[in-house]
Structure formats: C-alpha cells, structure tokens
Amino acid sequence: MNPQALQILRSTFGYEQFRAPQAEVIDTLLHGQDALVLMPTGGGKSLCYQIPAMARAGTGIVVSPLIALMQDQVVALKQAGVSAAFLNSSLSLSEARDVEQQLIQGKLDLLYVAPERLLMERMLDLLGRIEIALFAIDEAHCVSQWGHDFRPEYIQLSILQARFPGVPRIALTATADEPTRREIITRLGLQQARVFISSFDRPNIRYRIAQNPGGAREQLLRFIREEHAGDAGIVYCLSRKRVDEVAAWLAAQGLSALPYHAGLDNHVRAKHQARFLNEEGVIMVATIAFGMGIDKPNVRFVAHLSLPKSVEAYYQETGRAGRDGLPSDAWMIYGLQDVITLRQMLESSESDDAHKRVERHKLDAMLGLCELTTCRRQALLAYFSETLEQPCGNCDTCLSPPETWDASLPAQKALSCVHRTGQRFGVNYLIDVLLGKDDERIQRFGHDAISTFGIGRDLSTPEWRGIYRQLIARGLLTIDLEGHGALRLSDACRPILRGEESLWLRRELKPSRSKKTKSARGSASPFTDERDQHLWEALRTLRRQLAEKQSVPPYVVFHDATLAEMVAVRPQTLGEFAHISGVGERKLAAYGEAFLAVIREVLGAL
C-alpha cells in the first residue's frame, strides 16, 4: 500500500485503515491507470479519488451532476483542511473568476464541476493550461440512457480521454446492474480501466416489511416514537396529496415533519431540504422526487407507506438510510389496496406490451420480496446476482420468522368465489359473499344462491383480505384492465382450484398483537447508561453550535459515529482525542479543546 495515501487517510481524515477496496483503487490511480468503482451508498467512494488527487501533483477534477452534492462535499473537505472548491451555476461571476484564479495558481487539490460547465470550450482551455491530477466522474450511471438519472452531457465526457491523454480517470457509481456497467465502460472509454465491484449489501440496514391491516399512519407514528424519537428520517408516499396529509398529521402529533414533492414552490422545497440537512431530527415526508443527491449521513430510517414499483427502486430508496454505517431501519407497510393500485396503474398505462411485460416482471419481483417468508436480504442481494450464504439475522423474517399455514382450502374457496360470481367483482364484494352477508346487491345478482355464499364464515374480513392480497401478489388472480378492481382467475391458479397443488401462506399478525422486532439501535440517543446519554446530548449541542456558527450541517463537523466514540472513550487530552476515528489534524486543532472542555465539564459534574 502506498504510504503517502495512508498518511493522508490518517492525518487529514482521521481514519485508521482503508476499507476494501479503497487502497487498491487509490494505487491504481497513483500508477496513472483508470478505474471503475461500483460500491454501494455509504461504501466510501469519495476517498477513492480525493486521496489520490491530494497525493498526485496538480488538481483533481471531479464531475458531479448535482449542485447540492458538490457543495456538501466541498464544505466537508474544507472542514478537514483540504483545499477544495466548486464551479457551478450557483456562483456569481466574480466568485467563479476567483475559483478559476485559484485553479490557475495551482492552489486547489480538488475542483468539483458540473458536466455542462466542464464541457465548455473556455473551461477545457483552462484545464489545458494547468496540471491535472485526475478526472473523477461521480454518479457515472448518469451516462446510461436507460437509467432514470440520464444526463445527456455525461455522454460527451468521453472527450476527456482524447483531450487529456495520460490523465487517469475514475468513474464511480452505486448502481449495480450489469447493463449499466457495460454502458459506462463503452460510453466513457474505460475499456482499459480496472474494475472494482464491491458487495452491495448494506449490513447496517435492517429491512422490515409488514402488512397493513389499516391505520398505516398510526403504525408509522408508533414506529417513530418507539424506535426513532428525535432521529432524522424519510417517509415515502405515493401521491402528493398523501405527502401533505401525512406530514401535517405527524406535525400535529408534535414531530418535526416537513412535506416535499414536485407540486410545492421551489423556494419551499429548497427551504425544507435545507432544514432536513442542517437541523437534527427532521422527518421528510416525500414523494420519490426527494432523495437523489441527498447524502446526509445520519438518516436513521426510511419508511415506505406505499410500495415501490421495483426492487431497484426499493434498494435505492432504502439505501438513503445509514450512510454513516450506523444501525438504521428500512421500514415498510403495505396492504391489499397497494397491490391493486400498482397492478392497475401498470395495466392501464400507455406503454407498449414489451415495456409492460418488463414492468410487470419488476413489480412481481417486488411483491415477491414483500410476501417472502425467508431472509429478505438474501432475496434482495440475489436480485442483484449476489449470493449471501447465510440468512442475515437483521431483517424481520430472520428476527421473527413468520408462521406459514396450509391455506389450500381457503384459497380454493376464495378462487371459486371469483369463478362463481363471473369474474366481475372486486375484493370487498367477494368477501361479503364468502361471509354470507345480508346484502341487497348480492341478492339482486342472485349470489346468495351460489355454492360459495357463506362458506367463508370461519375466517374474518381482514383474514380474507390477507388471502386475496397474497393470491394477487403471487399472480394467481389478476385485476381487470378497465380499472374497476374486478378480479379474474389466471391460468396459474388452476392446479390450486382443482386441489392438485397446495398453497402455504404467511400467517398474518393481528395488528394489536404484532410482535415488535427490537429496534435497530434505539434512536438518536443510543446509550442506555444515563451518564453516557448526558454526555452524548452535550456533545451534540456543542456540535450544533459549532455548525451554526459556520452555517454548515452538523455532520460535517463530526459524524454521529465520531461523537459516539467520544462517549465511549471519554478522551481527556488532545493526544487521546486525536485517536478518535474521524478526527484529523485540522479538526483536532479547530475543535479538540472545545469538545474536551465539554467532556471534562459533564464528567466532572456527574
């Protein structure tokens, strides 16, 4: 390993060791070779180009698609004492000129640039006149025309190779799939690059998916209160209306929750996003419009009140939790209605058949993940062609294995009821028939005289809903195209209907008695010991004050993990303080005394 790189890791960033494969990636660039790095969110991609940019002569040029991301990175680098700047449309003309001057004078180790600006002839000329350490292309999946983050300017980045031969290039992404990888290689001309693929597992995220027997909001509130009081989190909802409603309701319950969706004014959205980043413990209730480019490290939970359309979307959205590696929750609740809505949206969409087939396949995979009775992480990783040998022990099905039961007979009744009523009715009606309800509509259609009338009295309405949900999720029943929610039999259900195959279903938990899986961490106050708790709060207060004074988010002063280590170690001297992970030379000098004073004060008072 390169000794200079290790020296920078320790003195500037305050970390003891490289994570795999950081050291090798850095070596590759230091040898002037190209690299492609595929690593999950929170894996530690930034250091892969930041350290070689500092170690090599000249400036490292980082292409980044989002202004917010650039600003965040530059603020964090400056905190660590690195000379970094960005060039994008948020700067005034004179500010931009200033940055260019620093660049020409060779004063910058790192310069972040938006792709469209990099490609301007003036900028390329400028770069021709200075020494360049490397080019880093962050969020490299933006070159993919098939991905949802496609940025046309990214394709033109291929000119860097021709214009600056000999300058090593590194492309980085957290998008795992094979087609995207191939596209990055061809479009960016990275055929010679060494490829580094990390596991996409996020072991600190606890996956939990529960059925919704009604009262989703209340369950969300209970989850936040019991397990994440005071924590920052994101709550995803399908529609804008639902976002507004849930945000207002949570706020009325005394939580600091804000709405975020494309229907809000730009300045309102910007304000809410800034509060989410800069304050502690803000809950963002959002549509999927929110999230890309949010790299707040201490998002402790991501909650879904509606089902994502695909496993990819689920992985990406839940992946915004726990970038700092501390325990975090991915919590989701879903019910029969979600399944019906998504199936209907898909079938009634304008897209062509081939497209629909792909989408149907994706949704099936997502529903499969939801209905699973084995380890969710194994299934999630398998979806990305990765094998996890053992069940993870950190998902709901591992922690409290669901009971299954032989539902063949009730399934036959449910399917047969669809058949007898002519495949024209929705779930509520079908359940009423099964329960033998005294109902005017049932009588009008003569369904009080069919053989399935009243044969389902042994089960309750919620139990029947659970059965129908699972039958739909498994594709044994389909939903009509006209959008009235009528259920139809699919070919796949015949063997069950005929009694040739048995069907085992997940036993639904009664909401009131639902077993609580123990919290991933507790909450923002991770300490059980009262003195530790006290110290933790005092350190957080100091961090917030220091951050406010400089108008930066608290986490760029120190991460939660660094504060937690201070509580555990209780350093007494600057020498001891320097050993805490995340304390580099600049932060030691800038903040060491202040934190030591708080530690002494709190411990002295106890």
**Binding residue count for ligand ADP, defined by CB under 6 A:** 17
Residue in 47, 255, 336, 398 binding ligand ADP, rule: CB under 6 A: 47
Residue 433 to residues 268, 390, 453, Cα–Cα distance (Å): 49, 44, 5
Buried b (16+ CB within 10 A) or exposed e, 131-158: ebbbbbbbbbbbbbeebebebebbbebe
| SS3 call for 112 | strand
Minimum gap (Å) between residue 410 Cβ and ligand ADP: 46
Cβ proximity to ligand ADP: between 73 and 478 the closer is 73
Residue in 205, 398, 427, 566 binding Zn ion, rule: CB under 5 A: 398
Q: What is the DSSP string of 503-543?
A: -EEEPPPPGGGPPPPPPSS-SS----SHHHHHHHHHHHHHH
The candidate with the shortest Cα–Cα distance to 468, out of 478, 457, 458, is: 478
Minimum gap (Å) between residue 233 Cβ and ligand ADP: 18
Distance in angstroms (rounded) separating the CA atoms of residues 503 and 374: 16
Q: Which does 375 bind (CB under 5 to 8 A by kind): ligand ADP, Zn ion, none?
A: Zn ion
Cβ proximity to ligand ADP: between 269 and 323 the closer is 323
Task: Say whether residue 323 binds ligand ADP (CB under 6 A).
Answer: yes
Cβ proximity to ligand ADP: between 19 and 437 the closer is 19
- For residue 305, the cross-strand partners are none
Distance in angstroms (rounded) separating the CA atoms of residues 26 and 323: 21
Most distant pair of Cα atoms in the chain: their distance = 90
Cβ proximity to ligand ADP: between 43 and 233 the closer is 43
Judged by CB under 6 A, which stretch of 37-45, 367-375, 415-423, 594-602 contacts ligand ADP?
37-45
Judged by CB under 6 A, which stretch of 35-43, 116-124, 406-414, 418-426 contacts ligand ADP?
35-43
Q: Which of residues 222-281 bind ligand ADP (CB under 6 A)?
A: none
Asked if 36 and 193 count as a contact pair (C-beta separation under 8 A), the reply is yes
Asked if 539 and 345 count as a contact pair (C-beta separation under 8 A), the reply is no
Return all residues near 396 (Cβ < 8 A) that are at least 6 apart. 206, 207, 208, 209, 210, 376, 517
Task: Say whether residue 60 binds ligand ADP (CB under 6 A).
Answer: no
Residue in 21, 44, 168, 308 binding ligand ADP, rule: CB under 6 A: 44
Instruction: Quote the DSSP letter at residue 21.
Output: T
H-helix or E-strand containing 152? Answer: helix 152-155
According to DSSP, the β-strands at 132-137 and 283-286 are unpaired
Q: Which does 395 bind (CB under 5 to 8 A by kind): ligand ADP, Zn ion, none?
A: Zn ion
The site string for Zn ion over 344-383 (x = CB under 5 A, - otherwise) reads: -------------------------------x-x------
Task: Say whether residue 208 binds Zn ion (CB under 5 A).
Answer: no
Minimum gap (Å) between residue 561 Cβ and ligand ADP: 8
Task: Say whether residue 413 binds ligand ADP (CB under 6 A).
Answer: no
Judged by CB under 5 A, which stretch of 395-403, 453-461, 527-535, 572-580 contacts Zn ion?
395-403
Q: Which does 282 bind (CB under 5 to 8 A by kind): Zn ion, ligand ADP, none?
A: none
Cβ proximity to Zn ion: between 108 and 392 the closer is 392
Cβ proximity to Zn ion: between 203 and 462 the closer is 203
**Token pair of 4 as six digits:** 């200079």
Q: Which of residues 549-588 bind ligand ADP (CB under 6 A)?
A: 559
Return all residues near 320 (Cβ < 8 A) that are at least 6 apart. 41, 234, 291, 294, 299, 302
Q: How many CB atoms lie within 10 A of CB 5?
A: 21
Residue in 392, 418, 496, 557 binding Zn ion, rule: CB under 5 A: 392
Q: Which does 43 bind (CB under 5 to 8 A by kind): ligand ADP, Zn ion, none?
A: ligand ADP
Residue 106 to residues 11, 58, 83, 109, 280, Cα–Cα distance (Å): 22, 7, 10, 8, 37
Cβ proximity to ligand ADP: between 175 and 378 the closer is 175
Residue in 55, 136, 395, 476 binding Zn ion, rule: CB under 5 A: 395
| SS3 call for 102 | helix
Task: Say whether residue 587 binds Zn ion (CB under 5 A).
Answer: no
Question: Cα 284 to chain center, whole Å?
Answer: 13
Residues that bind ligand ADP (CB under 6 A): 15, 18-19, 22, 39, 41-47, 295, 297, 323-324, 559
Residues that bind Zn ion (CB under 5 A): 375, 377, 391-392, 395, 398
